[in-house]
Structure 1
Amino acid sequence: MGSSSLSRWLRPEVYPLFAAVGVAVGICGFQLVRNICINPEVRVNKEARAAGILENFTEGERYAEHSLRKFVRNRSPEIMPSINGYFTDPK
């Protein structure tokens, strides 16, 4: 019975499903670790939780305005702008 269920799920047709689920789990794990480690509103240790609400606007601004957001801020919201321009702009 173990062999048949293993051969049922390990077919080449299922590999893209495993890849998509693996990428989704990876993104969720990255966001979880990012929030636990550097989010100024998340406090893991007892001393930081006892401090209450902190007015640390600079730390919150630094967390929200990360380097990827700064990189894409002034760019066009297109995935492939050259191909989009080729098919949409008149010659």
Structure 2
Amino acid sequence: MGRWVRPEVYPLLGAMGFVTTMVVFQLTRNALLNPDCRINKEHRKMGILENEDEGEKYAQHNFRKYLRTRQPQVMPSLNRFFSQEDN
């Protein structure tokens, strides 16, 4: 087994594990919470779903509401440090 598992591969395995976890999370989230995804039979029978409130709740989730109040900067403290002039 030592011939097949090399230490150089560990970062790649970690990155691939992380990406696979994120993909599974997103697919599960979309399948269970997306208002356009029709899993149960009564929603599939309907031609047009009347679920505007559910769609609005899905699109404007709490994380997006939180980010709306934040400044669009990646590292605000680092930006302030380099943009302030020394007196």
* Bin for the TM-score computed over the shorter chain: 0.7 to 0.9
- Distance, in Å, in 1 between the alignment partners of 2:82 and 2:6 is 38
- Distance, in Å, in 1 between the alignment partners of 2:74 and 2:6 is 32
The reply to whether residue 70 of structure 1 matches residue 65 of structure 2 is: yes
- Distance, in Å, in 2 between the alignment partners of 1:72 and 1:80 is 14
TM-score (norm 2): 0.85
- Corresponding residue pairs, total: 86
Q: 1:20 maps to which residue?
A: 15
The reply to whether residue 7 of structure 1 matches residue 3 of structure 2 is: yes
Q: Which runs of 5+ in 1 are unaligned?
A: none
How big is the shift at 1:89?
2.8
Match of 1:57 among 27, 52, 55: 52
* Cα distance change, pair 43–83 in 1 and its aligned pair in 2 (3 A): same
Q: 1:79 maps to which residue?
A: 74
The reply to whether residue 34 of structure 1 matches residue 37 of structure 2 is: no
* Cα distance change, pair 46–14 in 1 and its aligned pair in 2 (3 A): same
Identity %: 49
Q: 1:48 maps to which residue?
A: 43
TM-score (norm 1): 0.81
Calculate the aligned-residue CA RMSD, in Å: 1.6
